[in-house]
């Protein structure tokens, strides 16, 4: 292992192994296998037993068998297409080895006349004689062949033999690490070491043995390393000393008193947590997590107020302009005293933009609202004290970390998301932040009634809509795709728009991915002003827009959406105090799975619970598009089946945090398992 440390050896390039040339290396690279460590997670799928050898007289045609024979005669025909042949014997009979496309020199080398050679392969029978065609397992050393050979799902061009050869080299040279886990944790896995666990993992008889101690230990390693890295990032950000903000409770309360509702307990609790962070001399890096419509915006605006009171500025970023404008309008409404609020929009004139930039640079703006444009290089703040970011659950850990660096030392960071995730995943996905959760919905919310309807019964739906429109209400009609695609059999928004327009003249508008930004803003604003009644769209309308007058949502082809997504779509209605309805439409009779999903949606309006169910039905990775966010996929661990390991890892991590334990001993673990890009400056 030269001078490399144990983990460095495992992170070496595959080419240090015997039998890995450029070709094999490149083939494996295509599968994202670059290091020895990467290869360890390709598990055997099955095995083939080549350990028992037979005498030639006992061979079974069609079986894979191992024989030890003596090559007696070469037959190399000079005619192309005819194979080369080596006739071999043992003391009971005769067998031919047949080679297509192998050179004479090579054949002579692997099957020298008169020497005892062990061969394994599938036994054929041709012209009254046994034969093995293109045998891959040939050796003078019978021990190399007479054993159980693992089968892997192979990368094209890498043979099973080569695969086993390189893997065996790694496994027989596995470094021994000093144990990184505490005694308590180790006792849960019967003290099996990492090294032994890997060895067990690759034993054929252990295929699929998910409950075994070695499997669980390795899954735990993986989960724990992720949590640990996240925890270190969090600690590191919090260590940054900042100038603390002065919380003016009186001022805050005067705003709260003027609202036409009272804050929920969870809103108050979250606000207190945020205020505590703002008032401390450590940098805040906090996530405010709460279901659609749970009222995060008001909480964040009150945090903004407290920041401004200390002479700082606030940047409030939303994913789209319309959402930024909505927040801006709300702020103007609730902050009746003299605050300087501005909205920077793509439409703002050059002169206006320049003026805003100048004002920001001289601290003449208290809160600036906008899209990511407010973080462009040319935007300079005089005294930025808080960054609020709405609906950015798809930001990955590295993106968030960059963000926290951006605002400078005195700048706190508050992220908001309306994407509840299963409890087990919280540490995996958001473990680098402190988290405040709003679980409770405002009291005036009525549950959204959810129904399912076959498309054939669309007339019932139209009748219902007609009635709602007469009452002055508005309707969302969601279709999965932009244009009709025969292959995908999706309902087309365009077609539906044409259809509904005939039924409800001058009452329908259409929004889809190809609608340009200006038009989109115009349509949404008109919908907000109740200028038309039905908005047909694909799923592009972002979570978060408040249309209090819309109380019906029709979702076509509901089968195409996951549970969490349906719940989020549904959350576009039911924000005011009206009765609201969600109609899920289906093309054909419901499958058992679909029935199960609808039952869950009908029974619950709790995004957290629904996300748990969604994960159970669809598996991790697929839910809510977290894949795009750089959330890594686990190699062995599975949030559904290893729920207990996730909880155990969290508990252990909290213990280590609390005891302020040195994490130096975890260095190999973190280096091996984790994302070098974000951990370089941690261990
Ligand atoms: P989200 O958490 O999805 O961002 P919003 O902040 O947009 O939710 O709030 C949704 C709606 O609920 C807004 O119209 C807001 O004014 C209202 N709201 C917020 N808090 C309460 C509350 N405690 N009681 C009643 N309505 C509330
Ligand atoms: Mg929101």
CB 296 within 8 A of CB 318: no
Ligand closest to the CA atom of residue 318: 2
Q: Which atom of ligand 1 is nearest to the CA of 391?
A: 4
Q: Is the pLDDT of residue 615 over 90?
A: no
SS3 36: helix
Task: Return all residues near 433 (Cβ < 8 A) that are at least 6 apart.
Answer: 234, 285, 286, 287, 400, 415
Integer CA distances (angstroms), 606 to 9, 572, 585, 610, in order? 48, 14, 21, 6
In terms of pTM, does the model score above 0.85?
A: no
The 3-state DSSP class for residue 469 equals helix
Average pLDDT over residues 672-676: 70
- Specify whether the CB–CB gap between 115 and 109 falls below 8 A: no
Query: Can you tell me the distance from the alpha carbon of 79 to that of 179, in angstroms, rounded to the nearest whole number?
Result: 63
In the structure encoding, which two tokens stand for residue 550, read together? Answer: 């819309």
- φ/ψ region of 562 (left if φ > 0, alpha if ψ in -120 to 50, else beta) reads beta
Please choose, from the candidates 282, 189, 268, the residue with its C-alpha nearest in 3D space to the C-alpha of residue 239.
282
pLDDT per residue as tens digits for the range 106-132: 999 999 999 999 999 999 998 889 999
Q: Check pocket membership of 298 for ligand 1, CB cut-off 6 A.
A: yes
CA of 306 to the centre of ligand 2 (A): 20
**18: Cα within 13 Å, side-chain hemisphere:** 6
* Distance, CA of 147 to CA of 242 (rounded, Å): 64
Residue 490's pLDDT is what? Answer: 44
pLDDT at 630: 46
Inter-residue contact 643 to 424 (CB < 8 Å)? yes
Testing ligand 1's pocket by substitution, the residue of 292, 293, 304, 334 carrying the most ligand atoms inside 8 A of its CB is 293
Packed helices 563-570 and 607-618: angle between N→C axes, nearest 10 degrees: 150
Across 418-423, average pLDDT: 83
Whether the per-residue pLDDT at 681 is higher than 60: the answer is no
Write down the H helix ranges in 591-642.
Answer: 592-603, 607-618
Distance between CA atoms of residues 47 and 635, nearest Å: 21
Cβ(425) to ligand 1 under 6 A?
no
Share of the chain above pLDDT 70, in %: 91
Instruction: Give mean pLDDT, residues 625-630.
Output: 48
CA of 392 to the centre of ligand 2 (A): 10
The string of pLDDT tens digits covering residues 195-241 is: 999 999 998 888 888 889 999 999 999 999 989 988 988 888 888 89
For residue 117, give the DSSP letter.
E
Q: Residue 605 has what pLDDT?
A: 87
Q: How confident is the model at residue 669 (pLDDT cuts 50, 70, 90)?
A: very high
CA distances from 158 to 32, 134, 145, 433 (A): 14, 16, 18, 43
pLDDT, tens only, 395-419: 666 667 766 677 788 999 999 988 8
First to last CA, the chain: 22
Measured CA to CA in angstroms, residue 352 lies from 339, 349, 361, 374, 667 at distances of: 18, 5, 14, 14, 52
Residue 631 DSSP label:
P
Please tell me the number of the ligand nearest to residue 295's CA: 1
Residue 260 in contact with ligand 1 by CB distance below 6 A? no
More confident residue, 575 or 276: 276
Q: Is 607 in the pocket of ligand 1 (CB under 6 A)?
A: no
What pLDDT is recorded for position 393? 59
Q: Pick the ligand that lies closest to the CA of residue 436.
A: 1
Q: Which atom of ligand 1 is nearest to the CA of 259?
A: 16
Q: In the numeric block, which tokens belong to residue 463?
A: 């009748």
Q: How much is the pLDDT for 395?
A: 64
The pLDDT, as a whole number, for residue 147 is 82
The CA distance from 590 to 655, in Å, is 48
List the residue whose alpha carbon is closest to atom 23 of ligand 1.
263
CA dist 425 and 622 (Å) reads 13
Residue 1 has pLDDT above 50, yes or no: no
User: Which residues lie closer than 8 Å to 358 by C-beta, 6 or more apart?
Assistant: none
Whether 294 is in the pocket of ligand 1, judged by its Cβ within 6 Å, is: yes
Q: Indicate if ligand 1 lies below 6 Å from the C-beta of 544.
A: yes
431: DSSP letter: T
**Does the CB atom of residue 69 touch ligand 1 within 6 A?**
no
C-beta 543 within 6 A of ligand 1:
no
pLDDT higher for 283 or 5? Answer: 283
What is the percentage of the chain residues whose pLDDT exceeds 90? 48
């Amino acid at each position: 292992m030269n001078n490399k440390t144990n983990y460095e050896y495992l992170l070496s390039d595959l080419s240090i192994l015997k039998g890995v040339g450029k070709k094999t290396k490149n083939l494996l690279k295509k599968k994202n296998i670059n290091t020895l460590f990467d290869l360890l997670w390709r598990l055997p799928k099955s095995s083939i037993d080549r350990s028992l050898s037979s005498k030639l007289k006992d061979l079974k045609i069609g079986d894979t068998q191992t024989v030890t024979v003596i090559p007696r005669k070469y037959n190399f025909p000079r005619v192309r297409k005819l194979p080369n042949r080596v006739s071999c014997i043992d003391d009971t009979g005769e067998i031919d080895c047949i080679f297509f496309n192998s050179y004479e020199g090579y054949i002579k080398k692997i099957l020298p006349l008169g020497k005892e050679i062990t061969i394994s392969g599938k036994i054929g029978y041709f012209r009254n004689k046994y034969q093995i065609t293109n045998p891959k397992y040939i050796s003078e050393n019978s021990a190399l062949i007479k054993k159980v050979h693992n089968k892997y799902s192979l990368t094209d061009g890498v043979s099973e033999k080569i695969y086993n050869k390189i893997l065996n080299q790694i496994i027989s040279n596995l470094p021994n690490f000093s144990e990184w886990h505490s005694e308590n944790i180790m006792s849960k896995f019967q003290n099996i070491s990492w090294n032994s666990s890997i060895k067990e993992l690759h034993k054929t008889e252990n295929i699929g043995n998910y409950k075994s101690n070695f499997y669980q230990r390795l899954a735990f390693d993986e989960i724990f390393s992720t949590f640990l890295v996240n925890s270190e990032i969090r600690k590191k950000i919090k260590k940054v000393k900042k100038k603390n903000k002065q919380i003016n409770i009186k001022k805050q309360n005067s705003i709260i008193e003027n609202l036409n509702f009272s804050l929920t307990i969870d809103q108050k609790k979250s606000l207190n947590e945020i205020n505590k962070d703002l008032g401390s001399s450590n940098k805040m890096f906090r996530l405010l997590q709460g279901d659609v419509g749970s009222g995060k915006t008001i909480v964040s605006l009150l945090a903004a107020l407290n920041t401004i009171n200390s002479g700082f500025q606030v940047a409030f970023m939303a994913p789209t302009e319309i959402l930024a404008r909505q927040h801006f309008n709300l702020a103007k409404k609730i902050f009746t005293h003299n605050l300087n609020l501005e909205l920077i929009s793509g439409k703002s004139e050059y002169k206006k933009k320049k003026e805003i930039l100048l004002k920001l640079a001289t601290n003449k703006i208290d809160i600036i609202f906008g899209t990511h444009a407010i973080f462009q290089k040319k935007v300079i703040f005089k005294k930025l004290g808080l960054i609020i970011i709405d609906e950015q659950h798809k930001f990955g850990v590295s993106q968030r970390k960059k963000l926290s660096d951006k605002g400078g030392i005195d700048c706190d960071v508050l992220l908001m998301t309306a994407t509840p995730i299963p409890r087990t995943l919280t540490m995996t996905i958001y473990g680098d932040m402190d988290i405040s959760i709003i679980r409770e919905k405002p009291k005036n919310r009525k549950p959204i009634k959810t129904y399912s309807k076959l498309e054939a019964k669309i007339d019932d739906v139209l009748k219902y809509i007609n009635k709602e429109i007469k009452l002055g209400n508005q309707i969302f009609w969601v279709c999965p795709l932009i244009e009709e695609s025969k292959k995908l059999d999706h309902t087309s928004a365009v077609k539906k728009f044409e259809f509904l327009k005939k039924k409800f003249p001058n009452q329908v508008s259409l929004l889809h991915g190809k609608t340009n930004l200006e038009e989109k803003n115009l349509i949404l604003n008109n919908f907000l002003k109740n200028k038309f009644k039905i908005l047909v769209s694909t799923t592009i309308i972002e979570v978060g827009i408040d249309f209090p007058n819309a109380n019906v949502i029709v979702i076509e082809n509901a089968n195409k959406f996951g549970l969490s997504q349906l719940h989020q779509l549904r959350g576009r209605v039911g924000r005011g105090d009206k009765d609201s309805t969600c109609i899920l439409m289906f093309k054909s009779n419901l499958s058992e799975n679909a029935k199960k999903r609808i039952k869950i949606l009908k029974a619950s309006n709790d995004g957290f619970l629904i996300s748990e169910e969604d994960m159970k039905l669809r598996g991790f990775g697929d839910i809510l598009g977290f894949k795009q966010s750089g959330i890594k996929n686990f190699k062995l661990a599975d949030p559904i089946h290893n729920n207990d390991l996730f909880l155990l890892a969290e508990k252990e991590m909290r213990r280590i945090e609390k005891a302020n334990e040195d994490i130096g001993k975890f260095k190999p673990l973190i280096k091996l398992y984790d994302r070098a890009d974000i951990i370089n400056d941690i261990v």
